[in-house]
Structure 1
Amino acid sequence: MHSESSFTPARRRRRRFLVPTVAAGAALGIAVTAGLTLASPTLAAAAPLAASAIASVAAPEATAASLRDIRVDAQSTLLAARVAMTEATAVTDDIGATGLDIGLPDTSIDTAALDEATDRLSKLDLVPMILVPGLTADAARATAQTSSRIAELREHLDAAKAQKAADDAAAAAAAAAAEAQRQAEAAAAALAAANTPDGAKATARQMAASKYGWGDGQFSCLESLWNKESGWNYQAYNNNGGATGIPQSLPGNKMSSFGADWQTNAATQIAWGLDYISRSYGSPCAAWGHSQSVNWY
């Protein structure tokens, strides 16, 4: 059995070995801090972590979690930087594709700093751990600047798109209104032309042929019949009995079965009149013969 005193020199030797190691790590950490402070404020911010990394030679278990955090933070920052690069390209492409004036004299994004910071941080496995926090900070700052510029451009682009959509909608509405007005005027002009005696005869000739198969001979009888009844005047009115319009419908509102505009549209009156002749006499010439015999049809 050994006495307690026999272990004393060994313990003392181990203590003498550990204390200089820690002291050396601390001294080197101070030296690194001083050097980084002179070289770069950003890298100087990493100096405490650098000292911690050096001290990990003496106490690796105490700093392992911190080193993992540094690496995870660097990887997350690198991912965010790459996303910002992609978004920067996308927004400038969108602006160019739309061809819109977004209200800014310059629509470019200066990504030089972000490119450099991303390139450095992408070499994470080749960079001493004591420099990683500083490079991460550089990349985060460049990412924030780029993201701010992206947001500014995107905001102006969205506003320009919204304005264009509103302008297009207003132009489409104006065009639709103009077309509706044109069609209304064309319809009014066509109605006015059809409501003249000559226009009414042309309408009757076309309807008689297309719907009933009545040719020129039948139309000649129809022309004579309605010359006698109304002179082909859609406003004709017989004060003695109340017969109305070109076919002298009695009463006039019978013609409403062919259109609510029977009082103002010669074509509606003609459609009713031809139907009446077809049902009652079979043809215009038969109706004209009846009219000549009894003075009405």
Structure 2
Amino acid sequence: MHAHTRTPRRALHLLTAAGAMTVALTATGESVAHAASAKQAYKDYAASQFRSAAQFDCLDLLWEAESNWNPTAQNPTSTAYGIAQFLDATWATTGIAKTSDPYLQIDAGLIYIDERYDTACNAWAFHQANNWY
């Protein structure tokens, strides 16, 4: 009988647990909201570098597949890092040093795509065929 009775002390524990869950959910929600707004800022910056919405759409598909636009994404089996998932050797080809700065990562990614594939849609097509670019 007493197992189901809520004493003031048990109620306090339940309130404390509920409060901790609320705090955790709020903190997580803010973190998720911040990550989503940062991701959108990266996309907006990249989109501003294109004259063609179609080309940005290809870039968006490419980098969603590669890193989900995460500037700290790290491939566990290679040196691939960042939004564009560059290998250490790839950074050198862009003239931009490996960095955690998402905007410099975008700049480097666009240089690489321009020099190697000419367009983001060509890079995306290559990725679809080869699962890398």
Q: Which interval holds the TM-score relative to the shorter structure?
A: 0.5 to 0.7
Correspondence 1:285 to 2:121: yes
Aligned pair partner of 1:241 in 70, 75, 78: 78
RMSD: 2.4
Are positions 1:264 and 2:100 aligned together? yes
Structure of higher RCO (CA pairs closer than 8 Å, 6+ residues apart): 2
- Residue 196 of structure 1 aligns to a residue in which SS? helix
Using the TM superposition, give the Cα deviation of residue 263 of structure 1 relative to its aligned residue in structure 2, in angstroms.
Answer: 2.5
Q: Secondary structure at the match of 2:74?
A: coil
Query: Which runs of 5 or more residues in structure 2 are unaligned?
Result: 1-33
CA contact (8 A) 1:235 1:263 kept: no
How far apart in 2 are the matches of 1:258 and 1:244? Answer: 14
**What residue number does 1:206 align with?**
48
Alignment of 1:124-139 (within 5 A): none
Is this contact kept in 1: 2:73–2:81, CA < 8 A? yes
| TM-aligned CA distance change 1:253 to 1:278, over 3 Å | closer
Shift of 1:277: 0.4
- State whether residues 224 and 288 of structure 1, in contact with CA within 8 Å, keep that contact through their aligned partners in structure 2: yes
Q: Larger Rg: 1 or 2?
A: 1
Distance 1:253 1:287 in 2: 15
Number of the residue aligned with 1:220 = 57
TM-score normalised per structure 2: 0.66
Aligned to 1:232: 69
Contact 1:196 1:233 in 2 (8 A): no
Alignment partners' CA distance in 2, 1:198 and 1:283: 22
Deviation for aligned residue 1:257: 2.8
Q: Which amino acid aligns with 1:203?
A: Y
Name the count of aligned residue pairs. 98
Contact 2:82 2:100 (C-alpha < 8 Å) held by counterparts:
no
Equivalences for residues 97-116 of structure 1 within 5 A: none
Distance in 1 of aligned mates of 2:58 and 2:85: 16
Aligned residue type for 1:284: A
In 2, the alpha carbon distance for the partners of 1:285 and 1:264 equals: 25
Alignment of structure 1 residues 38-53 onto 2, 5 Å: none
Q: How does 1:14-93 map to 2 (within 5 A)?
A: none
Q: Deviations over 1:211-239 (max 9, x none)?
A: xxx41000000000000000000001101
User: Identity over the aligned pairs, expressed in percent?
Assistant: 35
Report the structure, 1 or 2, having the larger helix content: 1
**Structure 1 unaligned runs (5+)?**
1-191
4+ runs of 1 displaced by more than 2 Å?
255-259
